Chains A and B, each alone.
Chain A
Amino acid sequence: ETGVTQTPRHLVMGMTNKKSLKCEQHLGHNAMYWYKQSAKKPLELMFVYSLEERVENNSVPSRFSPECPNSSHLFLHLHTLQPEDSALYLCASSQDLGQLGMNTEAFFGQGTRLTVV
């Protein structure tokens, strides 16, 4: 149990479908993140939320739409995806955004393995 739970674990969707990924953290953290992990590529930061406010949007296509209704929940809404969007989508949380020189480690969920067909 990592304290960060993601559902579903696996998702197969067509290019015209709409689906949502869910993330829930039970750690009392104030910051939450979405990362994309593709084979042979580094983890890519997609979105950052702090106290339910989006503070970072890393040039992500609009077919990915995040939502943070409260500090414990984070969603990633998906629509009209492309096959190249197939990847592992990881959610993470941390106590805060990180102070200079302080270890603010991120806790990751197990991810949603997304396949777009």
Chain B
Amino acid sequence: GQNIDQPTEMTATEGAIVQINCTYQTSGFNGLFWYQQHAGEAPTFLSYNVLDGLEEKGRFSSFLSRSKGYSYLLLKELQMKDSASYLCAVRDEGGGATNKLIFGTGTLLAVQP
């Protein structure tokens, strides 16, 4: 079956570093996405990994290990505005080149002063 697992909630302190993990089991794999979603707002794209390794983009980095079915999102120098839900999604190449994203339940991150 298709399964994406990530922690439901996390708490971190302003200025600190936090790592949000995601493990997946899918029938196919054509990339892993991280999205950020503030309460009441649209999910917005953060990162995309299709090859193993670390992708860095400013304060945010994302890592992928395809052999382990594992990814993490690393947030550095946390700010209060980083309080949001972080969604891990795998693009499953199911039966054709469809952009079928399978989402986890999201990790609600609370950044405290």
Contacts and interface: CB of A to CB of B under 8 A. Distances in A.
Given A42-B4, A98-B30, A110 B104 contact: no
Interface of A: 2, 4, 31, 33, 40-45, 48, 55-56, 90, 94, 96-101, 103-111
B2 to A, nearest CB: 10
Given A98-B30, A103-B48, A4 B99 contact: no
B97 A97 contact: yes
A48 B30 contact: no
Given A4-B42, A98-B91, A45 B97 contact: no
Contacts of A110: 40-42
Q: Is the interface of A mostly helix, strand, loop or mixed?
A: loop
Interface of B: 4, 30-31, 33, 35, 40-45, 48, 50, 87, 89, 91, 93, 96-106
A41 B97 contact: no
Contacts of B45: 105-107
Contact of A42 (B44, B50, B106): B106
B100 A45 contact: yes
Contacts of B104: 42
16 contacts: A4-B42, A42-B102, A42-B104, A43-B43, A43-B101, A44-B103, A45-B100, A48-B99, A96-B99, A97-B96, A98-B91, A100-B93, A101-B30, A103-B50, A108-B43, A109-B42
B102 to A, nearest CB: 8
Given A40-B105, A105-B48, A100 B42 contact: no
Contact of B99 (A31, A41, A42): A31
